Amino acid sequence: MNDTADLVGVLRAAGETTRLRLLALLADGEQSVKDLTEILGQSQPRVSRHLKLLADAGLVSRNAEGAWAYYGLAPEGAGGDLARWLISRLSPDDPDRLRDTKRLEAVRLAQAEQAAEYFAKVADSWDLLRSLHVPEEAVEAAIVKTLEGRAVDTLVDLGTGTGRMLELLAGHYRRGIGIDASREMIAVARAKLAATSIGHAQVRLGDISDLDGVALKADMIIVHQVLHYFDDPGRVLLQARRALKPGGEMLIVDFAPHGLEFLRSHHAHRRLGLSEAQMTAWARAADLAVADLQCFPPTNPTEGLTVCLWRLIDETDRSL
């Protein structure tokens, strides 16, 4: 904001009840227009118009993904700072805010239940499904190479699924812990670990988007093909950061941006891939830095998806 006119324009954009409610909701993480429409109980065109005004004023950011768009508070700049200041002045007991928060929780619960239902159906064939459209061998070789010659004391695999990462990296950690919200996935993972005699790893049932009650401190955290199941991957990274020891690092594996809408409707995906810019911003917000990025194009360009491997390090420790 360079002058009085700019500031007045931003204040006008924020100075409306629905738009203040939107800012408060976005302070809790990125949201899709579809979900915001459901939470506010207003029409999609009206919500979109409010969001456009906020975005034009620099208060929020917009990421288009196929037919959907996700909004969040502007990660940096005067607009984002002002939005956070305004939200900090809102009373947590405001009736609109209490109602919106309750509806947001209901939306997230419905999304979690939808994902759990999907994972329960595919648990037994998960590894096969995951290998259909991605260069799995190349990605796994790169993950192993990242740990080559190293012995990690505690490795935590968030969203462990069938425990494939614990199995793959068994020779590179002294203690391995896998966390997943699906009981069916956990059952498969336990059986696989037992069958391969990996006794120094265990799996636990838990919500990786809420690790506050989990007493974990990891030297390395792996989040393998998980973030695209969340509306706000940055929120998951913030949670994971709390479980990371000082000087620790994360390995993130996920799809590059794509336009395959059927993955939302048929496979419970919430985000159509993650961009380099998005990951950099999410990492910075979690006091992490992107130390390395590798991308693996599909063997069949007409059907496959590009997979990315990010290595994130503690922002306070640049020596790694």
pLDDT tens-place string over residues 30-42: 788 888 999 999 8
The answer to whether residues 66 and 174 belong to one domain is no
CA distances for 111 relative to 94, 139, 318, angstroms = 26, 28, 37
- Using CB atoms within 10 A of its CB, is residue 184 exposed (0-12), middle (13-18) or buried (19+)? middle
Judged against a pLDDT cut of 60, whether residue 318 lies above it is answered with no
Question: Domain with 72 in it: what CATH number?
Answer: 1.10.10.10
Which contacts (CB < 8 Å, 24+ apart) does range 87-95 have? 87/23, 87/24, 87/27, 90/20, 90/24
Local confidence band at 127 (pLDDT 50, 70, 90 cut-offs): low
In this prediction, residue 165 carries a pLDDT of: 95
Average pLDDT over every residue of 43-57: 90
The answer to whether residues 58 and 149 belong to one domain is no
The answer to whether residues 81 and 150 belong to one domain is no
Residue 102 within any structural domain of the chain: no
The answer to whether residues 80 and 132 belong to one domain is no
Question: Of 130-144, 151-165, 237-251, 266-280, which range is least confident?
Answer: 130-144
Residue 105 within any structural domain of the chain: no
* Residue range of the domain that includes 70: 4-90
Stronger pLDDT, 312 or 214, i.e. the higher one: 312
Local confidence band at 192 (pLDDT 50, 70, 90 cut-offs): confident
- Of 90, 115, 149, the residue at which a domain comes to its end is 90
Residues 6+ positions from 305 with CB-CB distance below 8 Å:
133, 134, 255, 256, 258, 260, 273, 298
Average pLDDT over every residue of 159-172: 93
Question: Of 151-155, 216-220, 299-303, 310-314, which range is least confident?
Answer: 299-303
The answer to whether residues 202 and 293 belong to one domain is yes
In this prediction, residue 204 carries a pLDDT of: 85
Question: Domain with 295 in it: what CATH number?
Answer: 3.40.50.150
For the chain, the domain total comes to 2
In this prediction, residue 131 carries a pLDDT of: 62
Local confidence band at 283 (pLDDT 50, 70, 90 cut-offs): very high
Judged against a pLDDT cut of 80, whether residue 2 lies above it is answered with no
Closest CA to 318 of 251, 253, 249, 252: 249
Q: What is the pLDDT of residues 71-88, one digit of tens each?
A: 888 877 778 888 888 888
- Of 74, 90, 106, the residue at which a domain comes to its end is 90
In this prediction, residue 185 carries a pLDDT of: 84
Residue 98 within any structural domain of the chain: no
- Of 75, 90, 105, the residue at which a domain comes to its end is 90
